[in-house]
């Protein structure tokens, strides 16, 4: 065991209870965060938190996409989501692997953004890029706090990491929490529809039908119109019940 102390230092200068947090959302490709937790991003931004987006790859090639088109779509989506920044790493689409190099890129982003909370893909998924992204984020969260390295930035340890469901695998997602995103659902769909190159099938958006079903179900479980589930491996601590439905 090394690097122990870092973990015991104050983890988030914002403080745990003061309120406003910095959140880093990691998506394998531009559009994954939108589909998986676009409503959560909007809900947290509306509550005053600062949300940053990090894409592992530019997402291309795809059947109908191009680098230029995808970049425009993802910029438009970021605007709708109201995020503070969107960064795209240069990892290879379709071939993201859990390497030291990939971890270091994410760790440096963490040291720059200094998030209190990371929202990253669930490690069980049909798409290998999603699986790798999940593992890379776990490792990078730890690596970001190292001292005596040649990584850019100062040591930082995000206090919490939660996993979201990317919709490729049709599993019953094991939710620890469900975020009520009813008030933001319309904007989430707008953000998702920015990716016409990915989702528009002759004017239909089958994947948006799919995520709407998911959200209507998880919403029903918390007596809300729409909900997005999150998984935590560490237990969820609370200081009050005010925000719990």
Number of residues that bind a copy of itself (CB under 8 A): 97
Choosing from 90, 150, 203, 242, the residue that interacts with a copy of itself (CB under 8 A) is: 242
Could you tell me how many residues make up the chain?
245
Give the torsion through C-alpha atoms of 240, 241, 243, 245, to 10 deg.
170
- Residue 179-218 contact track with a copy of itself, rule CB under 8 A, x = bound: xx-----------------xx-x----xx--x--xx-xxx
Give least dist CB 89 to a copy of itself, A. 15
Question: Which of 228, 172, 171 lies closest to 44 in space, CA to CA?
Answer: 228
- Residue 36-55 contact track with a copy of itself, rule CB under 8 A, x = bound: -------xx--x-x------
Q: Which stretch binds a copy of itself (CB under 8 A): 16-24, 71-79, 82-90?
A: 16-24
Measured between its terminal Cα atoms, the distance across the chain in Å is: 39
Query: Considering the rule CB under 8 A, would residue 75 count as an interface residue with a copy of itself?
Result: no
Going from the C-alpha of 218 to that of each of 126, 175, 211, 230, the distances in angstroms are 21, 9, 11, 11
Ranges within 121-180 binding a copy of itself (CB under 8 A): 124, 126-128, 131, 138-139, 141-143, 146-149, 159-160, 166-172, 174-180
Cβ neighbours for 38, distance < 8 A, ≥ 6 positions apart: 81, 184, 187, 188, 191, 192
């Amino acid at each position: 065991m090394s690097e122990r102390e870092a973990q015991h230092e104050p983890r988030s200068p914002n403080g745990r209870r003061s309120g406003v947090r910095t959140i880093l959302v990691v998506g394998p490709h531009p559009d994954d965060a939108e589909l998986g937790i676009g409503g959560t991003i909007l809900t947290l931004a509306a509550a005053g938190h600062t949300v940053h987006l990090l894409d592992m790859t530019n997402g291309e090639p795809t059947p109908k996409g191009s680098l230029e088109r995808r970049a425009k779509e993802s910029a438009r989506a970021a605007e709708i989501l109201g995020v503070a920044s969107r960064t795209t790493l240069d990892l290879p689409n379709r071939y993201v692997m859990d390497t030291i190099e990939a971890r270091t890129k994410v760790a440096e982003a963490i040291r720059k953004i200094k998030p209190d909370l990371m929202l990253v893909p669930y490690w069980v998924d049909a798409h290998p890029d999603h699986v790798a992204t999940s593992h890379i984020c776990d490792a990078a969260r730890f690596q970001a706090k190292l001292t005596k390295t040649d990584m850019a930035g100062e040591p930082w340890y995000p206090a919490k990491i939660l996993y979201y469901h990317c919709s490729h695998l049709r599993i019953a997602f094991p939710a620890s929490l469900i975020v009520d995103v009813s008030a933001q659902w319309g904007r989430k769909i707008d953000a998702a529809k920015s990716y016409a190159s990915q989702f528009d099938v002759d004017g239909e958006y089958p994947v948006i039908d799919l995520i709407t079903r998911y959200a209507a179900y998880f919403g029903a479980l918390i007596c809300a119109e729409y909900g997005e589930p999150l998984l935590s491996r560490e237990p969820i601590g609370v200081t009050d019940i005010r925000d719990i439905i």
